[in-house]
Structure 1
Amino acid sequence: MTKPDQPPSPIARAIAMFTLIVAGEAVFFLPFVLPRVFRPTLLEVFQLTNLELGIAFSLYGVVAMIAYFPGGPLADMFSARKLMAVALLATAAGGLLLASIPSLGGLKLLYGFWGATTILLFWAPLIRATRAWGGAMLPGRAFGFLDGGRGLVAAAIGSGAVALFALLMPEDVQTASAAQRTHAFQQVVYLFTGITLAAAVLVWFALPRQGEPSDPIELKRPLGAVRRVLKMPTVWLQAIVVVSAYVGYKGLDNISLYAHEVLEFDEVQAAQVGTLSMWMRPVAAVAAGLLADRFGVARLTILSLLGFGIGSGMLAVGAFPPGMSMFFFATMISTSACVFALRGLYFAMMEEGRVPFGDTGCAVGIVSVIGFTPDVFMGPWMGILLDRWPGELGHQYFFASLAVAATIGLIASIAFWRIVRRWNEA
C-alpha cells in the first residue's frame, strides 16, 4: 500500500490495519451481522419463514459467486482504497431500503444487490491489502489481526445494537406490539447504515494513496495468473477448507434461533447469545494468527477443524435441554472459537501454499468462488431443515450437517499440510 522505497512507519501500519478491520466488518453489518444477531426479530418484522429468508441469502450467494471471479483480477489492477470506498457507500445505500421494510421481493433484490457491492468491489481488494500488510513473514498475524479485529468490531457494535434494541422494546419483551418491534428493528438498521457510511469515509481518507496503479494492466497478466493459480493443488485444497470453515461460520447464524426455540430464551436473550458467540471471534482469530506464525498455518487449521467438528457433533446429539445452559454455553463458545480461528487462518494459507503475491487477487477470486458457495446453499438448507422438522429435531439435523462439513475440511487440511511438509523437506 506504500512504495517499496518508503517503508511505512509503525503508526501508518497501525492506521492501515485499523482501517482494513473497520471497513472489512462494516461492509457485512447489514447483510450478515444484522440477521445473525436479530434473526427471530427479523423473521417477525418481515413476516418470513426460515426458507424465505434463506432464499434471500441464496440470491446474495449467487450474485457473489458471479462477482468473486472478476473481482479478483480487479483487485490486482486497481486501487483498493477506491474500490472499497465505493463498495461501502453502495452497501450503506441498501440499508436505507432495508429500513423501509420492503416486501419479500424487495428483500431478495436487496440481497442480490449486496452480493455485488460487498464482493465485486470489496472482498479481493481487502484480502490483497491485508496480505501486503503481513508480507511473507507474518501472514498469520496479518489475517489474524484482520479477522480478530473485525470480530471485535462486530461484537462491540452488535452489543451496542442489542442494548439499543432492548432500550426501545418494552420491559416485558413478550408484550411488544408489532409496531414497537418494527420501530426498534428500524433503529438498529439505521445504526448499522450510519456505521457503514462512516467506514467509507474512513477508507477514503485513511488508507494511503501511495502505490495506487496509474496505468491499466494488460489483459494477458490476469489471464496468465488464472492459469498459474488453477494449476496449484494447494489452491484447490485451500478452497475446500474455506468451504468447510464457511459452512461453520454460516451455521452460527442458527445459534440465536436455537437458543430461542430449543432452550426457550426470549428475543433479547437469544440476541445476547448470538452476540456472545461473536465475542469469541477477536480472541480466537488473533490467537490463531499469532500461533500460526510460530507453529504453521496448516497445523492450526487442522486443529481448528477438529474442534469445529467435535462441537457441531455435540450440538447435533441434542444434549442441551432447557436448564442446561452452562453446558450449552461451554459448547457454543468453544465451537465458535474454532470457527472464528479458521476465519483468521484460511487466507493465510496462501503464503504456505506459495501463491505468488502478484497473483493474489486471482487466487482470492478462485478460492472464493468455490469456498463461499455456502452463501448459495446454506440459507435454503437451514430453512428446509428447520421448517420441515420444527423444534429441536430440525436443529439437530442442521448441526449434524455442520459436523460432516468439518470432517471434509479436516481431510483437505491434512492433505495441504502434507504437501507443505514435502516442500519444506525438499
Structure 2
Amino acid sequence: MLTKKKWALFSLLTLCGGTIYKLPSLKDAFYIPMQEYFHLTNGQIGNAMSVNSFVTTIGFFLSIYFADKLPRRYTMSVSLIATGLLGIYLTTMPGYWGILFVWALFGVTCDMLNWPILLKSVSRLGNSEQQGRLFGFFETGRGIVDTIVAFSALAVFAWFGSGLLGFKAGIWFYSAIVICVGIIIFFVMKETDAAEPVDVSEKRDAQSNTSMTSVLKDKTIWLIAFNVFFVYAVYCGLTFFIPFLNNIYLLPVALVGAYGIINQYCLKMIGGPVGGLISDKILKSPSKYLCYTFMVSFVALLVLIMLPHESMPVYLGMACTLGFGAIVFTQRAVFFAPIGEAKISENHTGAAMALGSFIGYAPAMFCFSLYGYILDLNPGLLGYKIVFGIMACFAFCGAIVSVLLVKRINHTKKVLKAAEA
C-alpha cells in the first residue's frame, strides 16, 4: 500500500504521463482532420511518427547518461511546457516539412527529457513485488486522463464546427492542458518525493558497479528491452485499425475519432489493472505474463487475417479490433515491470529504463512508415492483411524473447536465494 504522500505523487506523475503525449499522438483523435487540413497521406503521417521515433531513439540513448542525474522537477516541467509551445505552433498549419520538424522536436521534449525520468519516478514508489501493479495502475490512470482530455478535445472540435477552426481549437486545448501540468509540476514536485531508502545490498551494488558499462553489459536488461521492442512493434499497428474500419467496414467519419480515442486511451483503463493484477497476483511474474500474451496475440492476429471482413457487421469488426487492442494494452501496462522483478539496482534504474526505452521504442522509427506505405501501395483489404501478418511475426518473436527472459530471471532468483542461504 502506498502512503497518502506517495498516492499524491503517483497522481501527479499519472497526470504528466497522460497529457504530454496528446500532441504527438494527435492522430488518435484527429486522424482524418490531419489528413485533410495538414494535407497528409497515410505514408506521410507514418513518416512524421517515424521521424519522431528516430529522434526519440537517439534521445533515449543519450538519456541513459543523464536520467539519474538531472533534477526531475525542472526537466519534467520544461519538457511539458515546451511540448505545449510546439502545439501552439501547429495551429499555424505548417506544411509537410514543418510537421516533420515539430514531430522531431516532440521526440526531444516528450521522450528524451521526460519519459525515462517519469518511469523511474513511478518505479521507485514501490518494491520489487509491487512493480506490476504500480505500472498497471499507472497505465490505468494515464488511460483515464487520456480519455477525458481526448474526448474533451473532440468536444471542442465539434463545438467549433468540426472544420479547420475546430481542429485548431482542439490543438489549442491540448497545448493549454500540457502547459498547465508543466507549471503544476514545477511548483509542487520536490526532488526527494520519490526517494526510497536503499538497502545494504543495493549500497554494495552501487559501490561496486558505478560504471554505466554494468548496465550496458547486463543481458537481463537487454532481454527486457527487446521484450518492449516486440510489444511496441505490434502496438504501432493499432493506429491503422482506425482507417481499417473506415475503409473496409465503412465506419462513419463521425465515429472514427471516437473509436480512435477508445482504441488508444480507453483500453488503457482496462489493460492497466488487468495486466498488473494478473502478473503480480496470479502469475507473480510480469515476464511470464508477457510470454503468455505474446502467444495469444500471435494466434489472435492469424484469426484476424482469416476472418471474412467483407461480410461482417461493423460492430463485430470493432469488437475484434478492440479485443485485440486490449491484449496489447495489458502488455504495455507491465512491459517495464520486469526491471523491478529482476531486482535491478535502484542506483541504475533510470539508466535501465532509458536503455529499455531506447531499444524498446525503436519500432516506431520504421513501423508507422512501413505499415502506412504498405496500405498506400496495397489498397483495400489485402494491405491490411499484410500489416496484420507482419504484426503476427513480431508477436511470435516476442514470445521467443520472453521465454528467454523468464528463464534468466528465474536463474537470477535462484542465485540470490542461494546467496542469502
Q: TM-score, normalised by structure 1?
A: 0.89
Question: Hey, what's the Cα distance between the residues in 2 that align with 1:314 and 1:206?
Answer: 49
> Which residue number corresponds to residue 391 of structure 1?
380
Deviation at 1:343, TM superposition (A): 1.3
Q: What does 1:105-124 correspond to in 2, within 5 Å?
A: 105-124=97-116
Question: Is 1:125 paired with 2:117?
Answer: yes
- Deviation string 1:245-296 (CA, Å, 9 cap, x unpaired) is 1112221111211111111112221112112222111121122112222221
> Which residue number corresponds to residue 61 of structure 2?
69
Deviation at 1:364, TM superposition (A): 1.5
**Counterpart residue identity of residue 7, structure 2:** A
Q: What does 1:228-239 correspond to in 2, within 5 Å?
A: 228-239=214-225
Contact 1:316–1:398 (Cα < 8 Å) also in 2: no
Deviation at 1:138, TM superposition (A): 0.9
Deviation at 1:304, TM superposition (A): 2.2
- Deviation string 1:159-189 (CA, Å, 9 cap, x unpaired) is 22233333444xxxxxxxxxx6211211111
Counterpart of 1:74 in 2: which secondary structure? coil
Q: In structure 2, do the counterparts of structure 1 residues 262 and 222 end up closer, same or farther at CA, with 3 Å as the change threshold?
A: farther
Q: 2:190 aligns with which of 180, 185, 208?
A: 208
Question: Hey, what's the Cα distance between the residues in 2 that align with 1:377 and 1:369?
Answer: 14
Deviation at 1:197, TM superposition (A): 0.9
Contact 1:141–1:290 (Cα < 8 Å) also in 2: yes
Question: Hey, what's the Cα distance between the residues in 1 that align with 2:62 and 2:24?
Answer: 21
Question: Hey, what's the Cα distance between the residues in 1 that align with 2:399 and 2:129?
Answer: 25
Q: In structure 2, do the counterparts of structure 1 residues 221 and 267 end up closer, same or farther at CA, with 3 Å as the change threshold?
A: farther
Q: 1:292 aligns with which of 265, 279, 283?
A: 279
Aligned-residue sequence identity (percent) comes to 24
Question: Hey, what's the Cα distance between the residues in 2 that align with 1:274 and 1:335?
Answer: 14
Question: Hey, what's the Cα distance between the residues in 2 that align with 1:222 and 1:323?
Answer: 61
> Which residue number corresponds to residue 274 of structure 1?
260
Deviation at 1:85, TM superposition (A): 0.5
Deviation at 1:414, TM superposition (A): 1.1
> Which residue number corresponds to residue 3 of structure 1?
none
Question: Hey, what's the Cα distance between the residues in 2 that align with 1:249 and 1:43?
Answer: 21
Counterpart of 2:134 in 1: which secondary structure? helix
**Counterpart residue identity of residue 93, structure 1:** L
Question: Hey, what's the Cα distance between the residues in 2 that align with 1:149 and 1:312?
Answer: 28
Deviation at 1:380, TM superposition (A): 1.1
**Counterpart residue identity of residue 363, structure 2:** P
Question: Hey, what's the Cα distance between the residues in 2 that align with 1:131 and 1:340?
Answer: 19
**Counterpart residue identity of residue 31, structure 1:** P
Question: Is 1:145 paired with 2:134?
Answer: no
Contact 1:297–1:352 (Cα < 8 Å) also in 2: yes
> Which residue number corresponds to residue 91 of structure 1?
83
- Deviation string 1:201-244 (CA, Å, 9 cap, x unpaired) is 2222332343699xxxxxx9999443112222211111111111
> Which residue number corresponds to residue 321 of structure 1?
310
In structure 1, runs of 5+ residues without a counterpart are 1-7, 170-179, 214-219
Contact 1:60–1:113 (Cα < 8 Å) also in 2: yes
Contact 2:305–2:385 (Cα < 8 Å) also in 1: yes
Contact 1:225–1:362 (Cα < 8 Å) also in 2: no
Deviation at 1:323, TM superposition (A): 4.6
Which stretch shifts more, 72-81 or 111-120?
72-81
Contact 1:238–1:416 (Cα < 8 Å) also in 2: yes
Question: Hey, what's the Cα distance between the residues in 2 that align with 1:388 and 1:320?
Answer: 20
> Which residue number corresponds to residue 16 of structure 2?
23
> Which residue number corresponds to residue 174 of structure 1?
none
Aligned alpha-carbon RMSD (Å):
2.2
In structure 2, runs of 5+ residues without a counterpart are 196-205, 416-421
Q: In structure 2, do the counterparts of structure 1 residues 255 and 356 end up closer, same or farther at CA, with 3 Å as the change threshold?
A: same
Which stretch shifts more, 203-212 or 244-253?
203-212
Q: In structure 2, do the counterparts of structure 1 residues 256 and 322 end up closer, same or farther at CA, with 3 Å as the change threshold?
A: farther
**Counterpart residue identity of residue 261, structure 1:** N
Contact 2:227–2:335 (Cα < 8 Å) also in 1: yes
Question: Is 1:11 paired with 2:4?
Answer: yes
